[in-house]
Amino acid sequence: MIIQNDLINDTRRINSCALRDTLAAAHAANTTEKEFCDIWTKNLGEHDNIIGSWYDPPNGGMACLAGPAKFNSRVTFKSLRGSENLPSDTRIDTNNGMVYVYSSPVGAQGTNTRLGDISITKYYGNDDAVKKHLKNSHDAVSEVIELLNHIKTPQELYEKTRQVFALYGLRLYDHNSITDPTGINLGHTFPEIKLTTSVLDEVARKMISGSRKFINAKGGWEFENDQQFTIEPRLVSMRDDNLPLATKHYLVQRRGNDFLVCRDVDNLERSPKLL
Rama region for 133: left / alpha / beta (φ>0; ψ in -120 to 50; rest): alpha
Q: How far apart are CA 209 and CA 231, in angstroms?
A: 17
Residue 274 has a pLDDT of 39
Res. 117: pLDDT tops 60: yes
Torsion sign over Cα 69, 147, 19, 15: negative
Establish how many alpha carbons lie within 13 A of residue 273's alpha carbon, considering only the half-sphere containing its beta carbon.
4
State the average pLDDT for the chain.
92
Tell me the C-alpha distance between 124 and 101, whole Å. Answer: 14
Q: How far apart are CA 68 and CA 4, in angstroms?
A: 33
Per-position DSSP letters for 127-157, written without gaps between them: -HHHHHHHHHHHHHHHHHHHGGGT-SSHHHH
Q: What integer is the mean pLDDT of 252-259? A: 93
pLDDT of residue 271: 55
Mean pLDDT of 42-55: 95
**Distance from C-alpha of 244 to C-alpha of 133, rounded to nearest angstrom:** 9
Q: What is the mean pLDDT of residues 49-69?
A: 94
Check whether 141 has a pLDDT greater than 70. yes
Cis peptide bond prior to 58, omega within 30° of 0: yes
What kind and span of H or E run contains 265? Answer: helix 264-268
The residue length of the chain stands at 275
pLDDT tens for 222-253 read 999 999 999 999 999 999 999 999 999 999 99
**For residues 249-258, average pLDDT:** 94
What domains, with CATH codes, occur in the chain?
Answer: 2-274 (3.90.230.10)
- pLDDT of 275 reads 36
pLDDT per residue as tens digits for the range 156-204: 999 999 999 999 999 999 876 778 888 899 999 999 988 877 778 898 9
Give the Cα separation of 56 and 220 in Å (integer): 27
Give the global pTM: 0.94
Give the pLDDT band (50/70/90) at residue 109: confident
